[in-house]
Structure 1
């Protein structure tokens, strides 16, 4: 398999250009030679066969050969809204959520969040997580990179998204009146889903009442208490498998 790299300029057949610094360094580490092929993707859909033209000490020049209309997205768009966990667990969450097919990831600061970031420090963290998502796409074969949204408080995010349409809204909950996730999503892939999951300790009672008032259906994954970095990935895995199965049945 050819090395896969993400580049930010939009690609076009016949274009010749120098790879960005990080991508060029990756090609140099692999000791590729002129004539070797790469697979590049720019996030606008599909991927591009590309050939190395020149290897310099600091630059790598390539020529774009042809477009391959290959997509590996889920049939259903899933936005993960996550109470940011402590330490480096968010890195793993972003990496695995990307591999599992999340369309967008919204980091949230909530009442029980241990990590507290704002302004420039928050922006640097989000940029770091976006790079984690890019690396995960390069590895897993996705050609569309999940968008890491700016870090917000739960209140700010709800104010920016006041109505549930067009996505179905789900919140992972330990409270009463929850539905099994499989019962809450009766027709996977029929509409986008926004899945909200709290930090360590979950949502506070006030936060849970607030998100229910904003149209979030409380759902459960069973009678075990999962960690903050396990629960959203388990739910995303189920949503992805259910959507793929539903799409497959629809094609028969």
Structure 2
């Protein structure tokens, strides 16, 4: 069933309104007409099954038929911090990460970035990334749209570590047999040694195509991050975050792992 997100003020006690591009898409593309049903969420706490009363490309008015439980969100809030990759790889990270269950995305700059950072260009790209996250959240029947933060510097990212319960730094050296620990062991050690948290807030840090420098790894570890590997193979930058996110959700019990 089709799903749409609306602003809180468009979600009333008995009726909802869909406006703008969503209304145009529903009427012109999905051929929505009075009597049709779909699901609407305010992206926070309210989700409902509605029946269309009036439909035009400018606005759709619908009546709430049934309030639905907002139970499609993971029990862990996992943010993917992704060093800016080249081309449209960030779009893939956001789309698939949203489908799987990411809570938020933080694009950042690292030493070995392949792309040339352009603040004006990235600002425009964030608008597109937000649209991709919204569409992916609708497709996956999520109850909220992941937030996408402005691009941060390396130092800004490090300074944010204190706002998370756990920070995992994906470092390829940790994936080899002779080094460190894998993400599974790191999570289980943290669960064993930490006070119970109802909704753990986790930051997963992924490098660009060039990976991280030893200096960045040392700085991250000194700031409280746990260096982890994602296996013995070298993953593409657009794959690493998706794999790490899936591992985390499995260990949280989201996929029957607990």
TM-score, length basis structure 1: 0.88
1:48 corresponding residue in structure 2:
48
Structure 1 residue 65 displacement after superposition: 3.6
1:173-225 Cα shifts (integer Å, max 9, x gaps)? 12364211111011399533211110001112221121111111111112111
Distance 1:61 1:117 in 2: 43
Give the alignment partner of residue 234 of structure 2, picking from 222, 225, 233: 225
1:175 corresponding residue in structure 2:
173
1:83-121 Cα shifts (integer Å, max 9, x gaps)? 121100110100111111111110111111123344432
Matched, 1:196 2:205: yes
Change (3 A) 1:104 1:174: same
2:151 corresponding residue in structure 1:
151
Matched, 1:68 2:68: yes
Distance 1:218 1:84 in 2: 20
Structure 1 stretch displaced more, 198-207 or 90-99: 198-207
Distance 2:120 2:213 in 1: 27
Structure 1 stretch displaced more, 205-214 or 90-99: 205-214
Assess if the C-alpha contact under 8 Å between 2:123 and 2:150 holds in 1. yes
2:24 corresponding residue in structure 1:
25
Structure 1 stretch displaced more, 36-45 or 6-15: 6-15
* Cα RMSD, aligned residues only: 2.2
Structure 1 residue 172 displacement after superposition: 0.6
Distance 1:219 1:112 in 2: 19
Structure 1 stretch displaced more, 112-121 or 29-38: 112-121
2:217 corresponding residue in structure 1:
208
Unaligned runs of 5+ in 2: none
The number of residue pairs the alignment matches comes to 245
Change (3 A) 1:223 1:247: closer
Distance 1:77 1:16 in 2: 28
2:245 corresponding residue in structure 1:
236
1:84 corresponding residue in structure 2:
84
Structure 1 residue 157 displacement after superposition: 2.1
Change (3 A) 1:245 1:97: closer
Assess if the C-alpha contact under 8 Å between 2:51 and 2:63 holds in 1. yes
Distance 1:132 1:147 in 2: 11
1:224-243 Cα shifts (integer Å, max 9, x gaps)? 11111111111111111121
Structure 1 counterpart SS, 2:52? strand
Assess if the C-alpha contact under 8 Å between 2:19 and 2:58 holds in 1. no
Distance 1:227 1:201 in 2: 10
Change (3 A) 1:117 1:64: farther
Structure 2 counterpart SS, 1:72? coil
